[in-house]
């Protein structure tokens, strides 16, 4: 029936209108077809079952490398300083031999834009793999689940333990688990804080109980944030708090690689013996064992179709492949695939949206590299004497007073030569050569004087130049200012 078919009788209610024109498919979310039982209802505790397989090994190895980087990075030293330090109190970010200052805000903006486009590109290409493989929330949740398994046992044992009344075994296991979680959270918080405050001092201060009240507060906050997010909230963060989960669907298209269930092959699902000919029984390859749901960290049933809760972790792929192997069926009933491939259509891996993101990514990376290469690690602030714009000195010359602030943004002590151009025969009173320590500001008061006959107007534009002369370098900057005559 067509919506604009004049021969059709008009629906009386809104619900009737929807049912008349839009085909509705009832899906039983979190359900099992055989038992009809709901596996997980929203808000239920999810007992994630352990699974092994190719994607889980890949994820664990990536997580291990990622976690090792997180732990080791703030301990690394370079040229006598912490290699990676985002020092907020000193307003400078150090990345090996690069120190970024508030003056480098454009560079930081480039980093953020590049990160965003990288995420768009990856999401369009392979969906939410960031969530499944690299997101700290997922990595820490899996680490916390690992502690849980070691102390409380398998998913079934954990479920049983939670149902038990309070007893000695339960108290011991729960206490041990929460202590392990809290200690690990504290270590995470200390490592995280070490990216923003010198790591070695921080650890000495913590272990000698000599931290400032502010640092103690920061550590307490991040300890409980880690404990709460990875221990208690887990998938709730992904489902209800993460903004990326909400907008990622805007980047998806029918050629995006995601985890999906091949319903053509799997349905109709149902139990059968290993030796039975399921095709003759009118069954598809899905044996409805529910294993794909039991291993899912967000507790969803991928057989219900693509859902925003899916973090593309591949746990259900490994679980189902294991089942297929046992049943002697082809693997890949649940697999990383695209909607087009599932529908039997041609897959377009190189499509305009992806190419667009790719081209933008290359352009932005090039611009970022150019910006870093051409960056001059030197800055000059010129402050004029506000009390008196110009004065006449004892020679009858016109004198202007300035304060020059020279910021050495590099990691070495440098000597700079200073000069001025714009007015002929100007006299410079003050130092014209200064040595500025690494990452410090040198404040230099100077004055310029000139014969009034050299001045053609009340105000003349002048240019200060600061040039690095030792150690040999190419750092040179120019800054405009003005020279005023007397009224």
State the residues that interact with ligand SF4 by CB under 6 A: 259, 261, 266, 269, 286-292, 295-298, 300, 302-303, 310-316, 319-320, 323, 333-334
Residue with tokens 């493989």: 133
CB of 56 to ligand SF4, least distance (A): 10
Residue closer to ligand SF4, measured from CB, 57 or 421: 57
Residue closer to ligand SF4, measured from CB, 131 or 354: 131
Residue closer to ligand SF4, measured from CB, 115 or 305: 305
CB of 333 to ligand SF4, least distance (A): 5
Residue 377: C-alpha distances to residues 77, 79, 368, 441, 475 (Å): 21, 17, 16, 12, 7
CB of 74 to ligand SF4, least distance (A): 31
CB of 467 to ligand SF4, least distance (A): 58
- The H-or-E segment that residue 405 falls in is strand 398-408
Q: Are strands 433-436 and 427-429 parallel, antiparallel or unpaired?
A: unpaired
* Residue of 355, 132, 117 lying closest to 255 (CA atoms): 355
Residue closer to ligand SF4, measured from CB, 261 or 416: 261
Residue closer to ligand SF4, measured from CB, 49 or 177: 49
CB of 314 to ligand SF4, least distance (A): 5
In the three-class reduction of DSSP (H, G, I as helix; E, B as strand; rest coil), residue 399 is classed as strand
CB of 244 to ligand SF4, least distance (A): 14
CB of 228 to ligand SF4, least distance (A): 21
Q: What are the backbone angles phi and psi of residue 307, rounded to the nearest 5°?
A: -130, 145
CB of 271 to ligand SF4, least distance (A): 10
Q: What is the dihedral of CA 185, 190, 194, 199, to 10 degrees?
A: -140
CA distance 83 to 411: 11
CB of 117 to ligand SF4, least distance (A): 25
CA distance 333 to 263: 8
Determine contact, residues 482/398, Cβ cutoff 8 Å. Answer: no
Q: What are the backbone angles phi and psi of residue 348, rounded to the nearest 5°?
A: -110, 95
* DSSP states along 191-256: HHHTTTS-HHHHHHHHHTT---HHHHHHHHHHHHHHIIIIIIITHHIIIII-HHHHHGGGG--TT-
**Which two three-digit tokens encode residue 172?**
């011991």
CB of 263 to ligand SF4, least distance (A): 10
Residue 209: C-alpha distances to residues 205, 213, 357 (Å): 6, 11, 50
CB of 160 to ligand SF4, least distance (A): 23
In the three-class reduction of DSSP (H, G, I as helix; E, B as strand; rest coil), residue 379 is classed as strand
- Which residues on adjacent β-strands are paired with residue 435? 415
Q: Is 76 exposed, middle or buried (0-12, 13-18, 19+ CB in 10 A)?
A: exposed
Measured in whole angstroms, how far is the alpha carbon of residue 289 from the centre of its chain? Answer: 36
CB of 145 to ligand SF4, least distance (A): 13
- Which residues on adjacent β-strands are paired with residue 427? 449
- The H-or-E segment that residue 152 falls in is helix 136-152
The dihedral sign for the CA sequence 348, 353, 359, 365:
negative
CB of 334 to ligand SF4, least distance (A): 5
Residue closer to ligand SF4, measured from CB, 202 or 296: 296
CA distance 30 to 305: 12
Give me Rg for the CA atoms of the chain.
Answer: 33
Could you check whether the bond before residue 447 is cis, i.e. omega within 30 degrees of 0?
no
Q: Listing from the earlier edge strand, what are the strands of the sheet with 459-470?
A: 433-436, 414-421, 459-470, 476-484
CA distance 339 to 346: 10
């Amino acid at each position: 029936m067509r919506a604009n078919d004049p021969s059709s009788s008009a629906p009386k209610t809104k619900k009737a209108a929807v049912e008349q024109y839009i085909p509705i498919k009832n899906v039983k979310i979190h359900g099992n077809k055989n038992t009809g039982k709901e596996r997980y209802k929203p808000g239920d505790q999810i007992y994630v079952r352990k699974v092994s397989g190719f994607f889980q090994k890949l994820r664990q190895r990536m997580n291990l490398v990622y976690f090792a980087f997180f732990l080791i990075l703030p301990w690394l030293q370079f040229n006598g300083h912490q290699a990676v330090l985002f020092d907020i109190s000193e307003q400078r970010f150090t990345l090996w031999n690069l120190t970024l200052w508030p003056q480098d805000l454009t560079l930081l903006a480039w980093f953020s834009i590049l990160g965003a486009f990288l995420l768009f590109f990856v999401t369009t290409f392979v969906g939410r793999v960031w969530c499944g493989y690299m997101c700290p929330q997922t990595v820490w949740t899996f680490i916390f689940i690992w502690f849980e398994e070691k102390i409380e046992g398998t998913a079934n044992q954990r479920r049983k333990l939670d149902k038990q009344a309070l007893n000695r075994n339960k108290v011991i296991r729960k206490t041990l688990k929460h202590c392990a979680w809290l200690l690990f959270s504290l270590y995470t918080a200390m490592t995280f804080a070490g990216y923003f405050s010198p790591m070695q001092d921080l650890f000495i201060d913590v272990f000698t109980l000599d931290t400032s009240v502010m640092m103690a507060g920061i550590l307490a906050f991040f300890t409980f944030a880690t404990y709460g997010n990875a221990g208690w909230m887990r998938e709730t963060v992904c489902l209800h708090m993460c903004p990326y989960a909400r907008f990622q669907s805007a980047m998806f298209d029918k050629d995006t690689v995601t985890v999906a269930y091949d319903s053509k092959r799997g349905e109709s699902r149902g139990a059968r013996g290993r030796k039975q000919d399921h095709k003759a029984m009118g069954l598809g390859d899905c044996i409805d064992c529910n294993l794909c749901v039991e291993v899912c960290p967000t507790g969803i049933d991928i057989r219900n179709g693509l859902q925003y809760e899916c973090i593309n972790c591949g746990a259900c792929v490994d679980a189902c492949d294991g089942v297929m192997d046992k049943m002697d069926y082809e693997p890949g009933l649940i697999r990383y695939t695209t909607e087009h491939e599932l529908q039997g259509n041609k897959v377009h891996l190189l499509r305009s949206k992806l190419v667009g993101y790719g081209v933008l990514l290359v352009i932005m990376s090039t611009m970022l590299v150019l910006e870093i290469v051409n960056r001059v690690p030197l800055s000059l602030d010129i402050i004029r004497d506000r009390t008196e714009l110009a004065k006449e000195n004892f020679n009858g010359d016109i004198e202007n007073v300035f304060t020059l602030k020279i910021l050495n943004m590099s990691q070495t002590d440098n000597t700079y030569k200073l000069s001025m151009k714009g007015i002929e025969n100007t006299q410079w009173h003050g130092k014209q050569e200064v040595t500025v320590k690494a990452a410090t500001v040198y404040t230099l008061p100077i004055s310029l004087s000139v014969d009034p006959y050299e001045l053609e107007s009340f105000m003349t534009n002048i240019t200060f130049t600061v040039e690095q002369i030792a150690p040999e370098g190419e750092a040179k900057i120019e800054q405009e200012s003005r020279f005023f005559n007397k009224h």
